[in-house]
Amino acid sequence: MIKKVFFIGIFIFLLTAKYSPVTGAQYEKNVDYTKIQKDLRIMENILQTLLTDYIKDYLPIGRPETSGIYIEGYGVVFITSPTSDFLLHFAVLPPITKIYRDVKNRSQVIISQKSPDEEREREEDKQKEEILTETTDSIIEFLTDYAGAIKGLNPDNRITVVCKLSKEYRKTFEKMYDVKDSQMLLTAEKRWLNDYKKGLVGFEDLKKRIKNSSKGQYPQKDTYKRIDILKSIIESELENTYKRGISKSQIDGTYIRGLGTIFTIDLDRSGLFRTINIKLEEKFDDLIKSYKNIKYDELQQTLEKQALEKSKKAIEKTKEKLKESLKGIKEGIEKEIEIQSVPSIPPAPKIDFEDIEFSGKSKKDEKEEKSIEEKVKELTDVIAEVFADFGSTLKEMKDTERIEILIKSKELATKDRKVSCVQFSINKRDINDYDRNIINLDTFKNRININIY
């Protein structure tokens, strides 16, 4: 009897380990992060395009920033923010008026019986509902038609899209879906997509499963506030590390129950789309005329081109100054030699101006490039200190959950090795152990799982 209970216990353990979204990393061997990341980059562009198609109907000025992250044992999570306050300001119409002709054919303009504020609020709600419905449909289209092409996923893995909503949309979203949350979360299991592809599941059934996937997934309100605070701390620490400004729009964060907290940090992202400020008191018609034809990509390319031209001119100007300075030094040396008539003094060395960079330092004197290991160590120190000290503030997280941090940066690459991502995985129980002084910072760092790709 005891032996039977023992074997049943072992069987349940193995079954749980195999299908648990958190412990699934036990059976996912030899995961090729580089190949998966290539697929995710493609999927990011597809999702952005689907969301941009309907956004263009309201305001053709940008692409919603999207980041995808692969998490062993769970699958893939995409974080996107297609609804911005900026978009809403253009989408809403001014107060509506009614025009009619009386019996004497005299035109009269009558303001709607409702006050302009009430009318405007009604139009805003209608517009927001349309945008949220379009957003939901676009995400479902992405999950049903495209996401199944991600290679390297197991049938038990999930593909989740987290759509961050701006404060202007939250009230409407909560009313439409009867939830209290500031993010839209839609999930499809890889098995569902495989069955749909084989014709075993119809589209409407799959769509219903995806829509129902978010039930019970919404976290407490305080969790978002704590995530935002952590984003600010990460931003400050990265600015100290890289010695340059980091925009808040380069960092996204979310929480998924059963998995944990996810941060994606794109250091190559410009952040322009989310940092444009518009004065609302200006007329809508004037605003639309001013911005209607601006394309985000064209605007960004123009700015980059202007910056490049400015840098080139500055470099050329510096070279000319250096030439003049070195010419003066050379003439001074030659004159000194002539006066003192000392034939043993060698001629002035030949200067190769092509070898001089903007900083004025020769490439030959340039310090050796940091290795990838050194760059990752710097980031590891930042991540470890932030989450060792402040990770315990994520109080809703359970001990079995974890924190995943994906950092994208072209600066990680070296001449010998082309990488652009480093991913950190931290168990919540390790954060708790550090917080209770059970382990020190070095032990905490050693427990962080790191993948470079």
Cα–Cα distance, 58 to 56 (Å, whole number) = 5
Hey, CA dihedral for 14, 18, 20, 26, is it positive or negative? positive
SS3 per-residue string spanning 387-420: HHHHHHHCCCCCCCCEEEEEEECHHHCCCCCCCC
- At 83, is the secondary structure helix, strand, or coil? strand
Of 107, 404, 361, the residue nearest 263 (C-alpha): 404
Structure tokens at 160: 């989740």
Left if phi > 0, otherwise alpha if psi is -120 to 50, otherwise beta: which for 397?
beta
* Residue 216: φ, ψ to 5°: 80, 5
* Residue 76: φ, ψ to 5°: -130, 140
Burial of residue 259, with CB atoms counted within 10 A of its CB: 0-12 exposed, 13-18 middle, 19 or more buried = buried
pLDDT tens per residue across span 239-252: 988 877 887 778 99
Residues 6+ apart with CB under 8 A from 365: none
| pLDDT score for 392 | 96
Of 174, 249, 268, 273, the residue nearest 218 (C-alpha): 174
Of 265, 299, 235, the residue nearest 407 (C-alpha): 265
Query: Is residue 210 very low, low, confident or very high in pLDDT (cuts 50, 70, 90)?
Result: very high
pLDDT tens per residue across span 327-345: 666 666 555 545 444 444 4
Left if phi > 0, otherwise alpha if psi is -120 to 50, otherwise beta: which for 152?
left
3-12, 65-74, 127-136, 181-190: which is most confident: 65-74
Lowest mean pLDDT among 40-54, 153-167, 350-364: 350-364
Name the more confident of 32 and 192.
Answer: 192
Residues 6+ apart with CB under 8 A from 427: 402, 447
Query: Is residue 395 very low, low, confident or very high in pLDDT (cuts 50, 70, 90)?
Result: very high
Residues 6+ apart with CB under 8 A from 37: 70, 420, 421, 453
- Report the alpha-carbon angle 143-257-139, nearest 5: 20
- At 264, is the secondary structure helix, strand, or coil? strand
> 70 and 151 in contact (C-beta within 8 Å)?
no
Query: Is residue 302 very low, low, confident or very high in pLDDT (cuts 50, 70, 90)?
Result: low
Query: Is residue 293 very low, low, confident or very high in pLDDT (cuts 50, 70, 90)?
Result: very low
> 84 and 165 in contact (C-beta within 8 Å)?
no
* Residue 404: φ, ψ to 5°: -110, 130
Left if phi > 0, otherwise alpha if psi is -120 to 50, otherwise beta: which for 362?
beta
| pLDDT score for 13 | 44
Query: Is residue 445 very low, low, confident or very high in pLDDT (cuts 50, 70, 90)?
Result: very high
The pLDDT of residue 423 is above 80: yes
Name the more confident of 316 and 92.
Answer: 316
Name the more confident of 262 and 66.
Answer: 262
Name the more confident of 130 and 365.
Answer: 130
Strand pairing category for 260-266 and 402-408:
parallel
> 206 and 370 in contact (C-beta within 8 Å)?
no
| pLDDT score for 314 | 66
Burial of residue 252, with CB atoms counted within 10 A of its CB: 0-12 exposed, 13-18 middle, 19 or more buried = buried
Q: What is the DSSP string of 200-243?
A: SS-HHHHHHHHHHTTTT----HHHHHHHHHHHHHHHHHHHHHHT
- DSSP lists the bridge partners of residue 75 as 71, 158
Q: What is the mean pLDDT of residues 3-9?
A: 50
